[in-house]
Amino acid sequence: MKTKRNIIVKILAASAFICGICAATQNFSAAKETAKSLKEDEILILKSDLAAAKKHGGALQEVNLEERELTKNALKLPFEIYELRLSEDQNTLFGLGDDKGGIVLIDVTEPRALRLAGIFSFPQHEFDPAYIDIAQSKDGKSLFVADPNFGIYKLDLSDRRDIKILARLEARFVNKIELSSDGHTLFAKDFFSTLTAYDVKDDKFTQLAYFIAPSKADKREYDYACAPHRLSEIKELGDLKLLSENELLLASWVGFYVLDISDMDRYRANAAQNSNILKQVRYIAHPHLEIDKMTLSKDGKRVFSSNWSEFGLYDLGENNTVQSSAYYSGAHLNNFKVIEDLNLAYLGKKISEKGEFPSVDLIDFSNKLDPAPIKRYLFPQSLKGVSVESRGEYLFFSYFTKNGAFIGGLDRASLSSAEKSAQSAQMQNKILTEKSLEEKGTIWELPYSKNGFRTVDNIIKSPQGYLLLASADDEYRVSLVALSEQGAELWRKKLNMVSAANMPVAAMDSYVLLDNKILDAKT
176 located within any domain: yes
Secondary structure letter of residue 230 according to DSSP: -
Per-residue pLDDT of the chain (523 residues; tens, 9 = 90+): 444 444 443 444 444 333 433 333 333 344 344 444 445 555 555 666 656 555 555 567 777 776 666 767 788 888 888 899 999 888 999 999 887 788 999 999 988 888 899 999 887 666 677 788 999 998 889 999 998 888 999 999 999 888 999 999 998 889 899 999 999 999 999 887 899 999 998 889 999 999 998 766 555 655 655 555 556 555 557 899 999 999 999 998 889 999 999 999 999 988 877 778 999 999 998 877 888 899 999 999 999 999 888 999 999 887 888 888 899 988 889 999 998 888 889 999 998 877 888 999 999 898 878 888 888 888 888 888 999 998 878 889 999 888 888 898 887 666 665 555 545 545 554 554 555 545 545 555 544 445 667 677 778 777 777 887 887 755 667 888 888 777 777 888 887 776 666 566 766 556 676 765 667 765 6
What pLDDT does 79 receive? Answer: 86
Looking only at the bridges linking them, the beta strands covering 174-179 and 185-190 are antiparallel
What pLDDT does 24 receive? Answer: 34
52 touches 61 (CB < 8 A): yes
What pLDDT does 134 receive? Answer: 96
240 touches 195 (CB < 8 A): yes
Residue 400 to residues 61, 97, 297, 407: CA-CA distances in angstroms? 24, 12, 31, 9
CA dihedral 463, 469, 472, 476 (to 10 degrees): 150
What pLDDT does 76 receive? Answer: 86
Q: Please state, in angstroms and rounded to a whole number, the distance separating the CA atoms of residues 495 and 295.
A: 52
425 located within any domain: no
Q: How many separate domains does the chain show?
A: 2
Please identify, among 291, 325, 359, the residue that sits at the C-terminal boundary of a domain: 291
What pLDDT does 5 receive? Answer: 42
* Residues spanned by the domain of 468: 447-520
121 located within any domain: no
What pLDDT does 281 receive? Answer: 93
Nearest to 282 by CA among 250, 313, 304: 250
* Residues with Cβ within 8 Å of residue 86, at least 6 apart in sequence: 92, 93, 94, 389, 391
Residue 20 to residues 17, 92, 113, 118, 287: CA-CA distances in angstroms? 5, 15, 13, 11, 52
480 touches 503 (CB < 8 A): no
What pLDDT does 230 receive? Answer: 57
Q: Please state, in angstroms and rounded to a whole number, the distance separating the CA atoms of residues 129 and 119.
A: 18
Gap between the terminal Cα atoms of the chain: 40
Q: Please state, in angstroms and rounded to a whole number, the distance separating the CA atoms of residues 284 and 294.
A: 16
46 located within any domain: no
Please identify, among 251, 272, 291, the residue that sits at the C-terminal boundary of a domain: 291
Beta-bridged to residue 329, according to DSSP, are: none
Residue 411 to residues 72, 171, 364: CA-CA distances in angstroms? 11, 41, 21
516 located within any domain: yes
Q: Using DSSP, how many helices (H) and how many strands (E) does the chain show?
A: 8, 36
Nearest to 329 by CA among 391, 288, 373: 373
Altogether, the residues listed in the chain come to a count of 523
Please identify, among 273, 291, 309, the residue that sits at the C-terminal boundary of a domain: 291
502 located within any domain: yes
513 located within any domain: yes
401 located within any domain: no
Rg (CA), the chain: 26
What pLDDT does 8 receive? Answer: 40
**Which three-class secondary structure state does DSSP give residue 486?**
coil
- On whether the pTM is more than 0.85, the answer is no
Q: Please state, in angstroms and rounded to a whole number, the distance separating the CA atoms of residues 151 and 97.
A: 16
Q: What is the CATH number of the domain that holds 211?
A: 2.130.10.10
391 touches 337 (CB < 8 A): no
